[in-house]
Structure 1
Amino acid sequence: MYQLIKHGLFLIIFLLGVAETGNSQIQGALTDAETGSPIPFANIVFEKNKAGTITDLNGKFTIHNFSGDSIQISSLGYHTAAFQISNVPSPVHLQLKPKTIELKGVDVFPGENPAFIMMQKVLENSSENNPDLASNYSCIVYHKMTFSLDISDTLNTPDSTEQKFIDINRRNHLLLMESVSEKAHKAPDKTSEKIISGRVSGFKDPALAILPGLIQPFGFYAPEIELMGIKHLNPISKSGLKNYLFLLEDTLTEKGDSLFYITYQPRKNSNIKPLTGSFHIHKKTWGIRYLKAKSALTTSPYIIDISQSYDRIESHWFPSELKSHLLIKPGQGFNSLPYGMAGNAKSIVTAINLNPDLSDRKFSNIILEDKMPRDTGNIRNLRYEPLTAKDSSTYHLLDSIGKANNLDNIIRLQKELIRGYIPAGKFLIDLKHLIGYNQFEGLKLGLGLWTGPEITNNFSLGGYYTRSFKAEMNNYGGGIKWSPSQQSRTQIEFAFNHDMHSTGVFNFYHGNVLQLDQQLKELSVAIKDREERFYASAETSLGTLSGEAFFSWSDVTPVRTYPFMPDINLPVSPLETMETGIRLRWAPQEKLTSTAFGLLPEPTDGPKIWVNIIKGTEKQTGSKNNFTKLEGQLEKTYRTGSAARTTLRVSAGIIDGWSNPGNIYSYFGTFEPVSVEVPGLFATMAPNEFAADRFLMTTFNHRIALRQNHPGNFKPEINFMTKAGWGSLESNYPSTINSFEKGFYESGIIFDNLLKVLFIKYGIGAHYRYGPYQKSTGIKNWSFRVALSFSL
């Protein structure tokens, strides 16, 4: 029996050897002939038939049971090539030469385009294949990203210092980041991702480790695909089918399943922010198996391309591996070097569970949360793949440099700048009190100083002083703030100031998020009253509802007459005002990210609603009067085309029981013959020109982005705006106050993004005043504007 078993095993081994000789296995890697970078998702076809395989995200491939003598390889953006690989030892290293021009210029076909029909089926079946809609899931994702200079390996320079820098770049990365996150999703729209571990070379604080997971979306079925903050039209969408050209390049067989290899590019006359790339579509399910997408907008300092691989798990397609390549062009963005800066990121999805036990309590409007411990050592236990020699060398070198130069101060600076401060040792300099300007006070210079967490932990004590040069007044104040953490939206504040107060304003709650609109409104303020004020507030949030409760006491001394009272020659008498109220903001579709840099909202077109309820008391020359303010605002943006957005805003307010004209609404406009565009207010109505104790304002804004799919840096945007408003006073109040109960109307046009310097976009435009309050002199009905906006 022993001899029988021994000879039987020998026979099995011999037969396996014969089978292996007759059906050999070929392993190899495919790279770019110029850069040496791996080429993912390239098609490898056996000669004379369609059997083959596809390279993975690292450009590697395996051909099982290969009995031929040659293969053919093709990939978008590269010349197709055939390779003789008979009698070549495995593994083989193959290269493709990139094409100089990737896009084809012809988009007219006789008859029906089969690729278009296939993409229609992909869209029709997208709800079954979209991981976010097909099922609930949970998973763990390992992210890794490196940054290096994009320098040829053969480059040498006579400058010895520069050559040393180049040599260091070849041996080490400039930056290495890792993170691990737990991701959970409950169909169709509840998502929670917690980053549980991270490490960044050169820094003790792992805050930047959130970056690798933000480069590209987790999946590719949304109508718009956001890459580096720019939303591109997805080819797999109703609008995408109209604006992209699809080409069926090949049909392949992978493990018995047919895959359609389809490339896509924007149509010539499409006005979209486009992608170019390819899909491998699974024939039986019409789901994405592999995809490549590239954005190379000429106005962006970045070139980014992504790759995604999907695996079939329990009859569902699910992302298994994601890769991104980010190139920051030389001398653009924050890259001032003469070389490009290349970032390579990958995300590996593990521990996939398509039937998790998920309760609604697990989810909130916070979709991404930083839960990384400041001790970065635990990443070793969660790392999906071991570090390379270059990775280890990078950590060793940069950690020592970071410790010697205290590079964590850079992270602290970024955190505080977002909150509006500049770190100064253990103190914080308040940016809003350094410099300012408005029509009434002119130039304002000063200093605000607050204690940092090193001194007072979650409390902050401080004060400020400013000088108004035109008004020749000194302003000062101080207070105390308490917040559990930078990520928290809960804060309690007590403050006192001796300063100037804008007259007739109405403000809505925005939390601690910097609002450009509010900063621009301050420029046009024409009337301010002297005020001594004590203020106390407590703010917090409950999901998508946020707001503050407040109390204020003010001793107000008017120093100028109000323009809406032209028959009054002297300022009104001083008064004492006390107010108690709440300001609420509700954005039901808004999502938030909670990181070490703060709690920040994600852009959304969903509705936003603001409500203010205020009770107050006026005391003046021995009299006392109670009043009530009710204020509200509704805003909604609609997508009205692939390159168009329409925003509607309605604002209203009412004051019941007032007695002093300084407390009614009067700051509706920002008119100057030439001025800066201020969204939300009338451009042709002067500040405090009219007043009202009840008002209604509507704003219609239709924005169209032009030339998005055209070469060159000229990408203007056109804004059509119409505003209308009505304001009135109760009949028993003096008729010396000008109101606009007949209706105030203006329309305008802004040509935006005509010029871009760093991250600021500039535009020009004009608004025209018409209707019952049109002025007799034609030119006085016009206001010419310079538009400012921020963009990466």
Structure 2
Amino acid sequence: MVLKPNPSCTYIRLPIFLAVFFQAFFGLLSPILAQERTDFAKGRVLNSETKEPVPFAHVYFKGFENQGTVTDIRGEFKLIPNSETDSLVISHVGFKIQLLPISSIDASGSIYLFPKQIEMAEMIFLAGENPALNIIRSAIDNRKINDPENLNAYQYNAYNKLVFTLKEAEIGDTLSVKIDSALKGGHIFISESFSEITFKKPGNRNETIKSSKMSGIKSPVIALVSSTFQPFSLYEDHIIVFDIPYLNPLSKEGLRKYDYFLEDSIQNDSGTSFIISFQAQKGKGYLLGQGIMAVSSNLFALENMVFKSLENGGTLQFELQQKNKWDGKHWFPEQVNSKYLMADFDIEGRPLKLINQHFISGVRINHDLKTRTISPVAMIFDIQNEEFPMEDYRRDSLSEAESLTYKRFEELDDKTLERLKTFSQVMTQLSLGRIPLGPVDLLPNRLFRLNQHEGFALGLGISSNQKLSDWFRTEGYFRYGFRDRAWKYGGGIETLFLNRKDSRLMFYYSHDIVEIGHVPFIKSNSFSRSSDIFREFLAERMDQVERFSVSFSQIPLRNVKVSIASSLEDRVPLWVDHSAFTEEGNLTSLRAAEVGLNIRYNANEKLSKIGSGFLPGPPSYPIFNLHFSKAIPEILGSNVDFWKIALKVQHEWKKGVSLNRFLLSGMGAWGELLPPSYLNTGFGIRPQAQEISISLPGYLQTMRIYEFLSDRAIQSTYSHLTGPLLDHKAGWVGFAPQLNLIQSFAIGSLRDPILADNLGFKTLERGYLESGIELQNLVKYKSGFGYQGIGIGAFYRWGAYSNPAFKDNLLINLSLTTAF
């Protein structure tokens, strides 16, 4: 089978002796009480058409509405029997009320509700007449009190289940019979995990996965993915679904874009639950939803919510469900469920369906939790299936289809199972940038390189792995450039210790080439990462560098990575006639004994630890990169003396459906007669001899590379991307244009302007200005598991460094985007 795109509380303090007495008394009574409650009236409420659970339905005995309960995300309920009646009432917005004798519930405990068509008539309320609005406003005012992310600390256990399956088949669909036969009554894939989660304000959150079970593919990356489907809190202004911000009905802006209807009120142990449905108002935008919520009179907290995409919400249809629980002092999530239907991915016309269930237990809130006990890594894979058997943590037994999914893979022959195991290992290592081959790994980033100096360069990189040792690695590489006809090579030894903080000590030797003006920042996922890769392709002014180095790196604090290094390097410029240097600076060979410090702070980075490797999560902001270095003269023959500092700040934030980006980067070098190798060579990305046709964030689009030379320089760029001006689909092509406004500025200085003149550079002291406008995603089409967008942009160079002719300042280029 191949997935393919579809074209078309309150505490009462007691004296210690009373507390001990009651504890012992209830301890003796607990077995008796447990026996007395085995005759719960219980069952499961299902949709008669889809056979799916109906969460948050009101269930009560006839005549006793105030003594009822609400079904959970699985549609299940329990009620203490009532001898005064034998009839059960089940009600839910969108379904017909069901009244039935308890004796009529079948052995499976299943109760079916029949959907009813709800016609939302246009309703007009006089001022103060709509009672739902006052409740919603109170819930919005109390968001900070009830948001679990505002708690000082909490811990809990979580059982997570992820199912990949297909949408239910239509009656008479003969192709579906063939597909179901191939799946042998099961799903495509199922994964389960058990985790321990710890949180301490502000933002110190760690998840340790203790147990994991998967059908077929045994990759821990699946567990990582399954934890990202639904936000933990539903109190933010926007509910993020696959990085798309849907407006939360529990927000001030939501009051202007949703209609609210008070459907019912239910008495329960924590107070009164107000059942409120909500619908998007017409013409108020497309990133809205619909659904139902229950708001408690107790702190006006959200008890539960079902948030669905609109019926015309595009190719991604989803439903988010969350149930919160009152523990006597706080509201806290208890059950979370997500369902996604992806119309763009199908097997023989049946769309892919994802179901993710998250059940929370063992909650501890605001207890004494030391920050140092929380790992700086967001997610750790510490799989101990024998000590944490999955059967002990499931909230209910597996369905027949889920069991058959496991069984289908277990019945595969040994050879196929071994292939799946190997495939899983390779996929995991690839996510870490490695390809396992027994006790060694191939390093994909060493296989080839492409730039203007080497042309196409082919190579090989090999590193030992955990099969050889858990605490040290050896690695080496070589590469041959077909344009410069030269070999490059290197290798080293790395020691790993204090594994929790990713502490590494490395000794390395290399004989390679390095672009002039290069700053060795610690790499981060960011909006300019793709631009950096393309900038490496454009590099042509290189130095040959032979370097011996020793470095130590660590994650001492959450979101902070530090690297300390010392090196001795011999550098020969390959790009310039050395007679072009000034007489005093005529260094055909540079030797630098250098010590340096690199610090990266990524405020919301979600690192995951897999074995001894670390996998970064999606890009997060803000990011601060700082580099200090000092070249010490007359040590081991060093003939270079300088201080250098470099800074790079990136931030990205959303406001509604708009996206704002800010970049600040700069570098300063202080020293006498510094060669260009250690200076700033500009912030441009436009090639020297040809025009560029793709806009790349983080750089000045109209500035040519190597156009300016500075010993101190700074650049800033701000862009504002609007939400889609319209969203229309015609077949497999979509039209969702977004307007992007960009403004950039750069300025610098050079103590020796003659050096710039001799080498064909300009100086930057008068300030460089650039403005741009783009229409992104004019055309949007499906590609693999994501969308590719094509747009057009125009950038104009103005101010002191503008060219005489208008056309020489204007750059028209393509805008390419990728999204999921």
TM-score, normalization by structure 1 = 0.83
CA spacing shift, 1:493–1:62, aligned 2, 3 Å: closer
Residue among 536, 551, 555 paired with 1:541: 555
CA contact (8 A) 1:496 1:534 kept: yes
User: How far does residue 47 in structure 1 lie from its aligned partner after superposition?
Assistant: 9.1
Which AA in structure 2 matches 1:218? F
Task: Provide the C-alpha distance between the structure 2 equivalents of 1:548 and 1:680, rounded to a whole number of angstroms.
Answer: 24
Q: What secondary structure is seen at the aligned counterpart in 1 of 2:639? A: strand
Q: Is the 8 A contact 1:26 1:90 kept in 2?
A: no
User: How big is the shift at 1:121?
Assistant: 0.6
Q: Which residue of 1 aligns with 2:15?
A: none
Distance in 2 separating the partners of 1:716 and 1:562:
49
Q: 1:566 and 1:507 mapped to 2: Cα distance?
A: 25
* Residue 744 (structure 2) aligned to one of 723, 727, 738: 723
Distance 2:237 2:603 in 1: 20
Which digits, 9 at most, give the CA deviation of each residue in 1:73-129, with x for residues without a partner? 443xx4x42445369723563232376xx8959587554543233211101122332
Counterpart of 1:644 in structure 2 is 658
Equivalent residue runs for 1:2-21 within 5 Å: none
Q: How does 1:207-606 map to 2 (within 5 A)?
A: 208-254=222-268, 257-271=271-285, 273-295=287-309, 302-329=316-343, 332=345, 338-354=349-365, 356-363=367-374, 365-373=376-384, 375=386, 378-388=389-399, 390-401=401-412, 404-405=415-416, 406=418, 407-424=420-437, 426-455=439-468, 457-483=470-496, 489-510=502-523, 515-543=529-557, 544-561=559-576, 573-588=588-603, 590-595=605-610, 598-601=613-616
- 1:566 and 1:744 map into 2 onto residues whose CA distance is 26
Aligned pair count reads 754
Which residues of 2 match residues 75-154 of structure 1 at below 5 A? 75=93, 78=94, 80-83=95-98, 85=100, 89-91=104-106, 93-97=111-115, 111-112=127-128, 113-133=130-150, 136-152=153-169
- The amino acid that maps onto 2:278 is Y
Contact 1:487 1:596 in 2 (8 A): no
* 2: CA distance, partners of 1:399 / 1:643: 46
8 Å CA contact retained: 1:198, 1:379: yes
1:684 shift after superposition = 1.1
Q: Distance in 2 between matches of 1:492 and 1:313?
A: 47
Q: What is the CA–CA distance in structure 1 between the aligned matches of 2:708 and 2:366, rounded to whole Å?
A: 62
Letter in 2 for 1:152: A
Give 3-state SS (helix, strand or coil) of 2:722's partner: strand
Task: Report the AA paired with residue 694 of structure 1.
Answer: R
- Shift of the 360–379 alpha-carbon distance from structure 1 to 2, 3 Å rule, reads same
Worse-superposed segment, 394-403 or 735-744: 394-403
- Tell me, in whole angstroms, the C-alpha distance in 2 between the residues paired with 1:298 and 1:658: 66
Identity of paired residues, percent? Answer: 24
Q: 1:423 to 1:195 in 2, by over 3 A?
A: closer
Alpha carbons of 1:74 and 1:773: their partners in 2 closer, same or farther (altered >3 Å)?
same
Q: Which amino acid aligns with 1:778?
A: F
Is the contact made by 1:676 and 1:786 (CA closer than 8 Å) also made in structure 2? yes
Aligned partners of 1:243, 1:376: CA distance in 2, in Å?
Answer: 50
Residues in 1 aligned to 2:620 and 2:253: alpha-carbon distance in whole angstroms: 18
Contact 1:53 1:62 in 2 (8 A): yes
Structure 1 residues 487 and 788, CA gap change in structure 2 (3 angstroms): farther
Aligned to 2:807: 779
Which residue, out of 752, 767, 792, partners 2:776? 752
Q: Which residue of 1 aligns with 2:788?
A: 761
Residue 704 (structure 2) aligns with: 686
Secondary structure of the corresponding residue to residue 314 of structure 1: coil
Partner of 1:5: none
Structure 1, 750-759 or 770-779: larger mean CA deviation: 750-759
User: CA offset at residue 34 of structure 1?
Assistant: 3.0
Task: Give distance in 2, aligned partners of 1:496 and 1:300.
Answer: 54
Give, as a single letter, the amino acid of the residue that structure 2 aligns with 1:779.
K
CA contact (8 A) 2:605 2:616 kept: yes
Supply the distance in 2 between the matched residues of 1:623 and 1:508 (Cα, whole angstroms).
23
Q: Amino acid of the residue matched to residue 345 of structure 1?
A: N
Per-residue displacement from partner, 1:339-367 (whole Å, max 9, x unpaired)? 33333332322223345332233335434
C-alpha displacement at 1:689, in angstroms? 0.8
Within 1, Cα distance between the matches of 2:753 and 2:704?
A: 26
Alpha-carbon separation, structure 2, partners of 1:62 and 1:364: 39
Shift of 1:740: 1.0
Q: 2:719 aligns with which of 701, 704, 725?
A: 701
> Following the alignment from structure 2 to structure 1, what is the Cα–Cα distance between the partners of residues 787 and 570?
40
- 1:12 equivalent in structure 2: none
Aligned AA for 2:574? V
Preserved CA contact (<8 Å) 1:575 1:618: no
- State the distance in 1 between where 2:694 and 2:514 align: 21
Query: What is the CA distance between 1:589 and its match in structure 2?
Result: 5.2
Q: Distance in 2 between matches of 1:324 and 1:732?
A: 62
Contact persistence 1:248–1:262 (CA under 8 A): yes
Cα 1:715–1:489 shift into 2, 3 Å = farther
CA distance in 2, matches of 1:703, 1:567: 47
Shift in alpha-carbon separation, 1:256–1:527, aligned structure 2, 3 A = closer
Cα distance in 2, alignment partners of residues 269 and 559 from structure 1: 62
Out of 34, 41, 59, the residue aligned to residue 75 of structure 2 is: 59
Distance 1:559 1:493, change over 3 A: same
Unaligned regions of 5+ residues in structure 1, if any? Answer: 1-23
Report deviation, 1:211. 4.6
Aligned partners of 1:337, 1:222: CA distance in 2, in Å? 39
Structure 2 distance, partners of 1:766, 1:108, is 47
Return the letter of the residue paired with 2:155: S
1:749 to 1:141, Cα distance in 2 relative to 1, 3 A: same
SS at match of 2:700: coil
Contact 1:486 1:599 (C-alpha < 8 Å) held by counterparts: no
Does the Cα contact within 8 Å between 2:727 and 2:735 map onto a contact in 1? no
Kindly provide the amino acid, as one letter, of the partner of residue 93 in structure 1: I
Structure-2 change in CA distance of 1:253 and 1:602 (3 Å): same
Q: Does 1:742 align with 2:778?
A: no
CA shift digits 1:454-500 (9 cap, x unpaired): 34555444444444344454444444444459986433334444433
CA distance, structure 2, for counterparts of residue 191 and residue 674 of structure 1: 43
Aligned to 1:398, the other structure's residue is in SS state helix
Instruction: Tell me if the contact between 2:441 and 2:463 (Cα under 8 Å) persists in the aligned partners.
Output: yes
Distance 1:49 1:693 in 2: 81
